Structure 1
Amino acid sequence: MTSAAQDPQTGRLDALVVEGRTVRDRALLRARGELVHGCADTMARALAVLPADIGRVEVDMRGVSFMDTSGLRFLDVLGEYGRRRGVPVALTGWQGQPRRVLELVGLDGTDPLPAAPFAGSPARSASAVARERAEQLRLLRAEIAQLRHAIDSRPVIDQARGILMAAHSCTPEQAWDILREASQRTNTKLREVAGALTASTAPGGPAPPEAVRAALRAAVARHVPPAHSDR
C-alpha cells in the first residue's frame, strides 16, 4: 500500500509518500518526504484502505525531513482515526527539523499524539483549545520563516567567508568569527555585512561602509595571526 501527495510549489509527486503493511491486527506505516500542503490527504488515503479489524497503527517518521504548519493537520487526521476506531496510534522516529517543530509547539518529540491539543482533556473548552492552537501556529510559522531566511542567507555568507579565507589565509571558522564580530561591532545583520563584502569584490563594486570596513579590519586583527594575514 502506497499513498503520495503532490507538492504545490515544486510539482513533485512525492512530497510525502506513505507505505505500509499489516501484521495481524497492526498497521505498520512508513512516511517519507515532507509534511507540506497535501500531506494530511495523503495520510487519510493511506488510513482509508486499512482493514476494518486493525487494532493499532504505528507510523515510522524517520523518513520525514521537513515539516511546516500542514504537519499539524497531518497529526489531526491520525488522532481522529484513532478516536473514531478506538485504536492506539503511535508516531515514532521523529528527528531533525520536524522534531524541532514538534518541540516548539509543545508536543512530545518522541510520540506527539498523546500530548497533542486535539487529544486533551474533555473538560477543556473549545475556545481554550482554539487559542492554544492559534498560538502554536503563530510560533510554528515564525520558526519556518526563520529557517527559510537562514537558507536564503547561507549562499552570500558562504561567499563572504570564502573571500576572507582567500584574502587572509584563514580557516572557515576564523572567517565565520570575523563576520560575526563585524556584525556585532556595527550592530548590522550578519547577512548585510556578508553582502557588503561580497559586493565590494565585483568589478566596480561599491566599498563596504566605513564602519563595516573598520569592524572587519579589527576582527581580522583579533582572529588571524599576523603571519597568516596578507594585510
Structure 2
Amino acid sequence: MSSAAPLPLPGRQNPLVIGGHMDADRALLTPRGELVHGCAEALAEKLAGLPAGTARIDVDMSGVHFMDSAGLEFLEVLRDHGRRRRLPVTATRWNGQPRRILELAGLDTMDPLRSPAPHGAPSPALTAVAREREERLLLLQEEVEQLRQAIASRPVIDQARGILMATYGCTSDEAWHILREASQLSNTKLRAVAEAVAAGSRPNGPRPPEAVRDALSRALARRHP
C-alpha cells in the first residue's frame, strides 16, 4: 500500500507516492514525486505500517524530482524513526534539484542521514554550523519560491512571447529579451508585463499601463530600429 502527500506544487499534478516492499526483514521504500508540504506525514504513515520485525529501512530517492524545505522534515522523520526503533536507515540515490537542496543545506548528498547529529549541549563549532545551515535554508526557501513563481508564470509569459512574435515578426529569443527589458525599464515584474501584453491583445482588451507601454516601445525600438 502507498502513502500520498497532498498539495503538490502549483501547476503540477505529481504528489508524493511512497511505494515499497519487504526483503526478509529489510524494508525498501521508493518515494515518487515531490517532497513538499505533507510529505513528512505521508512518510510517518508509511513507516507506522511496516511489519514489527523490520530490522532495516533503505529509501531509494531516485524517483523524487523536486523538494523544498519540507523535504528536510521528511529526512527528520526517517532519522527519528531509526533512533526510536534502534535500526539502520538510509536515504540514497539523490539526483537533480533535490541533490542541490541537500548541498545548500550542508548535508551529505550520498546519504544525508549519515550527517552527524549533535548530542547534549552543542559545542561552539556546532552552533556556528547550525547558524550557517539556517542561512543556507533561508536562501533555499527564496530559491524555491522563485521556482514556484516561475512555474506559475510560464504560461502567460509564453503567450506574451507568441503575441510579440506574431505582431512584430521577432524570434522567440528576441520576444523574451523584449519582455525582460520592458520589465527592467518599467520596474515591473516580468509576469505583470506579460499579463499586460496578453490582455491588450484581446478584442476590447485594456491597454497596458503607460509605464509598461513606454518600456515596451523602447525595448522594441532597440530590437527593431
For structure 2, the 5+ residue unaligned runs are: none
Pairwise CA distance, 1:75: 0.6
- 2:122 matched residue in structure 1: 125
Pairwise CA distance, 1:215: 3.3
- 1:39 matched residue in structure 2: 39
1:190 has 2:190 as partner: yes
Q: Distance in 1 between matches of 2:177 and 2:198?
A: 16
Judging changes above 3 Å, is the alpha-carbon distance between structure 1 residues 36 and 190 closer, same or farther for their aligned structure 2 residues?
closer
1:20 has 2:20 as partner: yes
CA-based RMSD: 3.4
For the Cα contact (< 8 Å) 1:44–1:77, is it kept in 2?
yes
Pairwise CA distance, 1:9: 7.7
Q: Distance in 2 between matches of 1:207 and 1:37?
A: 39
- Deviations for 1:146-201, whole angstroms, at most 9, x for unmatched residues? 22222222222111101111012222112111111222233322122222222222
For structure 1, the 5+ residue unaligned runs are: 227-231
Q: Distance in 2 between matches of 1:184 and 1:207?
A: 19
- 1:5 matched residue in structure 2: 4
1:114 has 2:114 as partner: yes
- What amino acid does structure 2 have at the position aligned with 1:30? T
Q: Distance in 2 between matches of 1:19 and 1:9?
A: 18
- 2:102 matched residue in structure 1: 102
- 2:84 matched residue in structure 1: 84
Judging changes above 3 Å, is the alpha-carbon distance between structure 1 residues 50 and 138 closer, same or farther for their aligned structure 2 residues?
farther
Q: Distance in 1 between matches of 2:173 and 2:96?
A: 24
For the Cα contact (< 8 Å) 1:3–1:43, is it kept in 2?
no
TM-score by length of 1: 0.74
- Deviations for 1:96-115, whole angstroms, at most 9, x for unmatched residues? 44334333333334322223
- Deviations for 1:49-79, whole angstroms, at most 9, x for unmatched residues? 145352x432111222333443222111111
Q: Distance in 2 between matches of 1:9 and 1:89?
A: 26
For the Cα contact (< 8 Å) 2:27–2:54, is it kept in 1?
no
Judging changes above 3 Å, is the alpha-carbon distance between structure 1 residues 41 and 152 closer, same or farther for their aligned structure 2 residues?
closer
Q: Distance in 1 between matches of 2:168 and 2:7?
A: 45
Pairwise CA distance, 1:29: 1.7
1:168 has 2:168 as partner: yes
- What amino acid does structure 2 have at the position aligned with 1:7? P
- What amino acid does structure 2 have at the position aligned with 1:220? L
Listed as ranges, the matches of 1:56-95 within 5 Å are: 56-95=56-95
